[in-house]
Amino acid sequence: MQLPFTDSLAALRRFSLRPAARTWWVGAIVAAVAVAAVSSLGVWRWSAQGAAEEANAALRVTSTPPGAIVEVDGRAGALTPADLTLAPGEHRVTVRREGYTDATFRIGAQPGQTGIVTADLWLQKPLAQRLRPTFPGATIANADFLADGRVALSLTLPPGDEQQLWLIDGRGEARRLGPPDARGSLAVTPDGAGVAYLARGEGVRPGGAGLDEVWLSAQDGDWGRRSYALPTASNGEHLIDLSWAPDGKHLLLVSREPRAGGGLRTHLRWLDPSTGEASELTSIPSEVVPSSYTWRPDGQWVAFLARADQATSLCLLGTPSGEFRYLADLGRDDSGPLPFAPLAWAPDGERVVYSAPAQDRSGPPSWLFRGSPPLTLYVADLSGAASRRLTDAPGRSPTWRHDGSIVALDRPRWDGDILLRAVDPTGDARELGPLPVEAAPTYAVRWDVPHAQAIVAVRRTGIVGASGPSYWLVRFRAEGDQ
């Protein structure tokens, strides 16, 4: 009977009877097949691993200061700086550290890509100190930040026409900069290396009809040199203020011209101090509030406050384009608004966030809020489109931090503290805590986000009228935080 299968053992025996010299190629074939199989397995494993890596998303999280806990969708993970692997999709990332306010982000993780989250953590209990003149009898006319975080104080001395400029470093040491006797506004360069100031006539002579020249000084006690003179001073026009652009190479000049039939015109010019050439940007029938300038970092736009018919307005001006935007009305019946425009530029420079009275609010403000009307936050871009209301929560004097979050101030209770509030891009708001400064109905802020600090101007209103503002330096980072 023939079996229905092959006798492999017999075949093997027949094969084994062949000379050994003729079997070397068989071993080679078997080895080649084995290597190919292992290689295929390795390629499959490598391909599968690569596909898995491409299916996930990477996330790099850093914070200032470092050493903060990273939570993803409520689950705690590594300390910053941290490199994480996430499933694709939407995630909620929270960065927290004891003693600091949390930073929360909503991210969209993309397969095979690395996202970056940079958290700027601020102290829950900020450090504050009141800024005072360098000697009794003087008053602070303005306070601003230099590019390196130092504070520049403009002082007015009695009887009210002498001006001095002082620089305050991080240790609180003061150094005067500028001419020995200035009778007009002074402006320090962003790096603190020089001063531009207004003068009349030859710059050192008292008297005269008004300020009509711009002088530059590079050291204390030096008159410096004349850079510019008004070409039309004879018609009553005179300079009233000036401000350096962020590049330290151009000045915004503000002058006022009375009209024969009543009223006035304010001229804004763009000056190159190195050549003395000035071009007029625009002319408006209102007064510019001195020192109220908020520059876009590249110097292409500046925001400022204007006053007309007892109303204060927020304006934007392109430099050197001269494009003008009347952004919002802020309120009435405040003859001396604080010189800090309630506006901040977005990190991309294409949008602004600002505070203004709610546009759908009807009726005059009640006596309870006189001098401090309820304000809310709006976002506008430079395309000219209508502003968009960001949140229903009240807030004033906002700033846009580099991590994309927005913070603003609010005083919910007339007898309560001034609070710091965070607002995310969706409009959700949460309170971060009180500021350790004097509380009053009228307040405004000048921010220095890169150095996590701010100058808060506070003004009380008494029975006999408003008092002069007090200025507070508030720091949101501990010394040594990097």
Given a cut of 60, whether residue 173 has pLDDT beyond it is yes
Residue 371: count other Cβ atoms within 10 Å of its Cβ: 16
Tell how strand 139-145 and strand 151-157 pair up.
Answer: antiparallel
Cβ neighbors of 329 (< 8 A, separation 6 or more) are: 311, 312, 313, 314, 356, 357
- What domains sit in the chain, N to C, each tagged with a CATH number? 57-120 (2.60.40.1120)
Confidence of residue 276 (pLDDT cuts 50, 70, 90): very high
Name the least confident of 285-289, 291-295, 344-348, 362-366: 362-366
The residue among 98, 70, 72 whose CA lies nearest residue 82 is 70
Question: What is the rounded distance in angstroms from the CA atom of residue 440 to the CA atom of residue 466?
Answer: 11
Confidence of residue 188 (pLDDT cuts 50, 70, 90): very high
Given a cut of 80, whether residue 388 has pLDDT beyond it is yes
pTM of the model: 0.83
Burial of 322 (C-beta count, 10 Å sphere; 0-12/13-18/19+)? middle
The residue among 427, 254, 248, 445 whose CA lies nearest residue 340 is 445
The residue among 124, 122, 127, 131 whose CA lies nearest residue 472 is 131
Looking at residue 208, its pLDDT comes to 44
Looking at residue 358, its pLDDT comes to 84
Is the Cβ–Cβ distance between 256 and 269 less than 8 Å? Answer: no
Considering the chain, what is the average pLDDT of its residues?
A: 83
Q: What is the mean pLDDT of residues 232-247?
A: 88
Confidence of residue 412 (pLDDT cuts 50, 70, 90): confident
Residue 121: count other Cβ atoms within 10 Å of its Cβ: 25
Q: What is the mean pLDDT of residues 70-76?
A: 93
Residue 28: count other Cβ atoms within 10 Å of its Cβ: 10
Question: What is the rounded distance in angstroms from the CA atom of residue 479 to the CA atom of residue 193?
Answer: 25
Name the least confident of 62-66, 117-121, 465-469: 465-469
Is the Cβ–Cβ distance between 219 and 192 less than 8 Å? Answer: no
